């Protein structure tokens, strides 16, 4: 018999683990991506050129190859195309309506608000004048973000009216629909809840505390799973998470959600109907939950029951992000030594030699990250920081700065 064909949306480096995992399970894999050169092309069984934001082209590729399932694992940009292809072909998926709710931040806020969750006051804006009026009505500080992007791209915190023009231009430049959301800035401790929806139930796979950078609080310097915080009982966070997922209509699959918790309130900030980036989905969740999240997501996409029983006791993990001064990267050392250290699960660099470090405007402006796994959060933090200290970056001398 011919093995079932799984359609993975995207063939970039973050999809490579899913492609390899599916093939290790005896499946064939079709990947579709709009770029000419992608690492997933070399390891998949079949490839199609179709942008991950082009739902009709994605559906055409899936239909042409008669796929058995469609999976968008770690990118918001492909969530709608995956849902559209799956639903059009009668295959399991997150659902078209849920995909829209999870990829449009204004729909997300409206659904959460309608469900009675404590959503900070917000407005959808399509012009600079609307932003000025919204900021005056809402009062600073506010967050301005594109309604349809990911990874913190185009997100700004505005503390004074003089910052509005730059924030608006940044958000609109990162929005395919040239539309933004302005929202009152929520205070508290930011947490991540990683879940998988299966057979009508929400199963939490991970709970993390985020530590923001002082100079850009919308970007994390550290993400810790298994920490002693947050200052709100996990049961309350789980209840809010389940309520949000129900309000958004997610039928099945991975959900990566972010909340601000303070004074017993769990405030939704953002949610995505896919696995967490920075290797959360592929490296962190299996360690901290004991559940093979990747296999579970693949099984659900194929209409199979997912095995969510932990294979081992939960552990802790820490993602320590790396920074370097702005300038041209002349040399990077110590990466292999960091990777070889006990407890280190992964080291990844976003920016390499010959590329330029810029200001910390969005998440991809960080140099990279180190992931460490241990039996407790304090040890995981210590291990990841020790590994990060091994990594040395030199900025070109003519840039006037070195590290």
Domain count, the chain: 4
CA–CA separation, 99 and 349 (whole Å): 30
Are 211 and 290 contained in the same domain?
yes
Quote the mean pLDDT of the chain: 95
pLDDT (tens digit, 9 = 90+) per residue, 7-23? 999 999 999 999 999 99
* Residue range(s) defining the domain that contains residue 21: 5-91
Q: Give the end of a domain, one of 274, 301, 328.
A: 301
Are 150 and 134 contained in the same domain?
yes
Q: Give the end of a domain, one of 137, 152, 184.
A: 184
What's the whole-number mean pLDDT along residues 218-246?
Answer: 92
Residues 6+ apart with CB under 8 A from 143: 155, 156, 157, 158, 182, 183, 184, 185, 218
pLDDT (tens digit, 9 = 90+) per residue, 284-293? 999 999 999 9
**Residue 367 belongs to domain with CATH number:** 3.90.1170.50
Residue-wise burial string across 366-393, b where 16 or more C-beta atoms lie within 10 A, e elsewhere: bbbbbbbbbeebebbbbbbebbbebbeb
Are 289 and 330 contained in the same domain?
no
**Residue 151 belongs to domain with CATH number:** 3.30.1490.20
* Three-class HEC string of 118-174: CCCCEEEECCHHHHHHHHHHHCCCEEEEECCCCCCCCCEEECCHHHHHHHHHHHHHC
Are 274 and 335 contained in the same domain?
no
Angle between helix 79-88 and helix 55-65 axes, rounded to 10 deg:
50
Tracing tokens 């499946």 back to the chain, one arrives at: 27
In a domain, 238, yes or no: yes
Q: What is the pTM of this model?
A: 0.95
Tokens of 292: 């093979």
- At residue 349, the pLDDT reads 96
What's the whole-number mean pLDDT along residues 132-157?
Answer: 92
pLDDT (tens digit, 9 = 90+) per residue, 328-384? 999 999 999 999 999 999 999 999 999 999 888 878 889 999 999 999 999 999 999
pLDDT (tens digit, 9 = 90+) per residue, 274-326? 999 999 999 999 999 999 999 999 999 999 999 999 999 999 999 999 999 99
CA–CA separation, 367 and 329 (whole Å): 10
Q: Give the end of a domain, one of 130, 158, 184.
A: 184
Are 206 and 281 contained in the same domain?
yes
pLDDT (tens digit, 9 = 90+) per residue, 166-219? 999 999 999 999 999 999 999 999 999 999 999 999 999 999 999 999 988 889
């Amino acid at each position: 018999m011919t093995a079932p064909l799984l359609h993975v949306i995207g063939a970039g480096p973050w999809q490579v683990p899913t492609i390899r995992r599916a093939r290790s399970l005896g499946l064939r894999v079709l990947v579709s991506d709009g770029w000419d050169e992608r690492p997933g092309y070399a390891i998949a069984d079949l490839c199609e050129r179709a942008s991950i934001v082009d739902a009709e082209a994605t559906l055409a590729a899936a239909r042409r190859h008669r796929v058995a399932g469609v999976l968008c694992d770690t990118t918001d940009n492909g969530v709608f195309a995956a849902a559209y292809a799956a639903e059009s072909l009668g295959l399991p998926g997150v659902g078209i309506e849920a995909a829209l709710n999870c990829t449009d931040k204004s729909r997300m806020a409206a659904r959460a608000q309608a469900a009675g969750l404590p959503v900070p006051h917000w407005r959808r804006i399509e012009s600079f004048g609307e932003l000025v009026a919204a900021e005056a009505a809402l009062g600073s500080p506010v967050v301005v973000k594109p309604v349809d992007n990911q990874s913190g791209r185009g997100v700004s915190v505005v503390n004074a009216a003089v910052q509005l023009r730059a924030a608006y231009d940044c958000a609109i430049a990162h929005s395919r629909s040239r539309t933004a959301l302005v929202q009152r800035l929520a205070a508290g401790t930011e947490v991540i809840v990683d879940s998988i929806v299966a057979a009508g139930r929400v199963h939490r796979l991970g709970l993390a505390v985020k530590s923001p950078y002082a100079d850009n609080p919308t970007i994390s310097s550290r993400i810790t799973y298994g920490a002693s915080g947050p200052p709100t009982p996990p049961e309350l966070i789980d209840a809010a998470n389940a309520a949000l997922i129900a309000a958004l209509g997610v039928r099945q699959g991975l959900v990566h959600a972010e909340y601000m918790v303070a004074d017993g309130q769990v405030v939704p900030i953002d949610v995505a109907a896919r696995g967490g980036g920075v290797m959360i989905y592929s490296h962190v969740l299996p360690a901290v939950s004991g559940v093979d999240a990747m296999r579970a997501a693949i099984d659900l996409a194929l209409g199979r029951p997912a095995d969510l029983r932990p294979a081992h006791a939960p552990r802790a993990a820490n993602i320590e992000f790396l920074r370097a001064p702005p300038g041209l990267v002349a040399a990077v050392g110590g990466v292999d030594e960091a990777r070889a250290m006990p407890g280190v699960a992964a080291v990844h660099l976003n920016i390499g030699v010959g590329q330029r470090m810029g200001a910390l405007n969005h998440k991809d402006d960080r140099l990279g990250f180190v992931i460490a796994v241990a039996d407790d959060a304090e040890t995981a933090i210590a291990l990841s920081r020790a590994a990060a200290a091994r990594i040395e970056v030199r900025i070109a001398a003519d840039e006037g700065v070195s590290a």
